Amino acid sequence: MPMDGSGRGGRMVEIPRPPVIERAVAVRVVLSQETPDEADESLQELRELARTAGADIVCTFEQHRSSPDPATYIGGGKLESIKAAIEELDVETVLFDADLGAAQGVKLEKALGVKVVDRTQLILDIFAARAQTREGRMQVELAQLQYLLPRLVGRGSIMRQQGGIGVRGPGEQKLEVDRRVIRGRITRLKAELEEVRKHRRVQRDRRVAQGVPTVALVGYTNAGKSSLLNALTGADALAEDKLFATLDPLVRRCALPGGGEALFADTVGFVRRLPHTLVAAFRATLEAVNEADLLLVVLDASHPAMDEHLRTVRSVLEEIGAAAIPFVKVYNKSDLLEEGVREGLASDRAPHAIVSALKGDGLRGLLELTQDQLRRGRTRLRLRVPQDRAAVLSQLHARARILDIRYEGNDVLVDAEVESGAAGRFSEWADPGAGKTP
């Protein structure tokens, strides 16, 4: 998988890469309905996840099956081959490119004698290592506990002995805590994160009242979202050549070419089969996506699996209820494209921009397109409303983006943007001296 998130454009915050701490074996069952390309891409992604977590994959096993083995996920013969490799290569961890059932994990650990970490657990481990803010750490802990709760029986003895991948963060402290205490902790975390959501809603309402639209950058992990945010806004978001470099949302103001400004929000990268526990736990963070006026779907245009990445992003957007938000496709890393590929992307009929965060190519065009899309479907009005018509003013604050508000005698003069379909209900209050502003 070609990876390039290392500060392509804008300033980069350098953090040292963790040393390789564990020797690991990767295991994947290729099901009959999968294509070879899908299987290869998924296994390559597992390798990148392992590298991000600090593992060195020294051997890979694949097994073709019509369905996973219900007891140990893989067949007995392959299990013996893996056990032999563990002994020969001094392997500490076996990474499965799948989500294992609780019973499967128990039997695999007993059979292999080393830690067994499934795909969800690996992703949770990366999140635990990289979350920086209190909110991010709470969200990761919630996801880890929700993952751990049904797996308390029979798992963890080997993990407790070895430590490392799979037990970092809150998970390491909670492995021996009983279910009642864990459930109580989950309840408290949910309550605290609900307070975070309320605080975000207050901030969102304030921004709406100020007339500042929000643009969320979404995309597959390592597509270059943070680098693009840096290039557009001069921010200092971490842009690193690793998966999930950004966990905590970063919001920065950006001036638009035609005047005015917008808030651009960087978000956690998506990945195929994003664990449901993470989607649920990161709901407060993902509200930056749900509440955006426009989405910039950032794609690594140089990646051979770009179309698959786009399908994954759309799937996650549907899962979090953001599929109806207007979007612009941003084909990033254009400096790595051959001319024929660039021409193919240019023929896309959907709103799109072809950019290079590294070179700065196409950024002004992207901002112009962003401004155009933010204005599309909205009408700008200049209204004169008597101060005693509180209900009208309340509707304006609820349904319009207030651009400017001032007082003249007993009237309130309001410049606002409203959805075109709702403009008619305010026509009675149009300022006769100004009318509609284009």
Which residue's entry shows tokens 């007339």? 211
Q: What is the mean pLDDT of residues 129-145?
A: 84
Alpha carbon 84 to chain centroid, angstroms: 38
**66-75, 296-305, 375-384, 407-416, range with the lowest pLDDT:** 375-384
Residue 347 has pLDDT above 70, yes or no: yes
Give the pLDDT band (50/70/90) at residue 15: very low
> Considering only 25-29, 64-68, 149-153, which range has the smallest mean pLDDT?
149-153
Which option is the CATH number for 23-181: 3.40.250.10, 2.60.120.260, 3.40.50.11060, 3.30.30.60?
3.40.50.11060
**Residue 172 has what pLDDT?**
47
Q: Is 2 helix (H, G, I), strand (E, B) or coil?
A: coil
Residue 224: phi and psi, rounded to 5, are 105, 25
Q: Find which of 242-251, 364-373, 384-393 is predicted with most confidence, using mean pLDDT.
A: 364-373
The confidence score (pLDDT) of residue 432 equals 74
- Calculate Rg over the CA atoms of the chain: 25
Output the average pLDDT for the chain: 81
**How many other CB atoms sit within 10 Å of the CB of residue 302?**
18
Closest CA to 120 of 286, 17, 249, 271: 271
| pLDDT grade for 148, boundaries at 50, 70 and 90 | confident
Q: Is the pLDDT reported for residue 185 higher than 50?
A: yes
The answer to whether 263 and 371 are in contact (CB under 8 A) is no
Query: In 10 A of CB 186, how many CB atoms?
Result: 17
Q: Say what the pTM is.
A: 0.73
Cα–Cα dist 159/115, whole Å: 6
Highest mean pLDDT: which of 41-45, 95-99, 191-195, 403-407?
95-99
**pLDDT confidence of residue 361:** 95
93 pLDDT tier (thresholds 50, 70, 90): very high
The per-residue pLDDT for 327 is 94
Please, where in the chain does CATH 3.40.50.11060 lie? 23-181
pLDDT band at 240 (very low <50, low <70, confident <90, very high): low
Across the range 184-192, mean pLDDT stands at 92
Predicted pLDDT at 192 = 92
Are the C-beta atoms of residues 94 and 141 closer than 8 Å to each other? no
| C-alpha angle 225-360-373 in degrees, rounded to nearest 5 | 65
Tokens of 387: 């101060």
pLDDT band at 169 (very low <50, low <70, confident <90, very high): low
Range(s) of the chain covered by CATH 3.40.50.300? 212-375
- Please report, rounded to a whole number, the percentage of residues in the chain having pLDDT higher than 90: 36
- Name residues whose C-beta falls within 8 Å of residue 16's C-beta, 6 or more positions apart in sequence: none
pLDDT value at 236 more than 70: no
Q: If you search the block for the tokens 């008619």, which residue do you land on?
A: 424
Would you say residue 239 has pLDDT above 70?
no
| CA-closest candidate to residue 226, choices 44, 47, 4, 48 | 4
Above 90 in pLDDT, residue 80? yes
Residue 1 has what pLDDT?
A: 30
Alpha carbons 315 and 297: distance in angstroms, whole number: 13
Largest CA distance in the chain: 87
Helix-strand-coil split of the chain, %, nearest 5: 45, 20, 35
Q: Candidates 3.40.50.300, 3.40.50.720, 1.10.357.10, 3.40.50.10490; correct CATH number of 212-375?
A: 3.40.50.300
Q: Is the pLDDT of residue 436 over 50?
A: no
What integer is the mean pLDDT of 216-238?
A: 84
Q: How far apart are CA 326 and CA 51, in angstroms?
A: 35
The model's confidence at residue 31, banded by pLDDT at 50, 70 and 90, is: very high
Average pLDDT over residues 319-342: 90
Nearest to 48 by CA among 245, 205, 214: 245
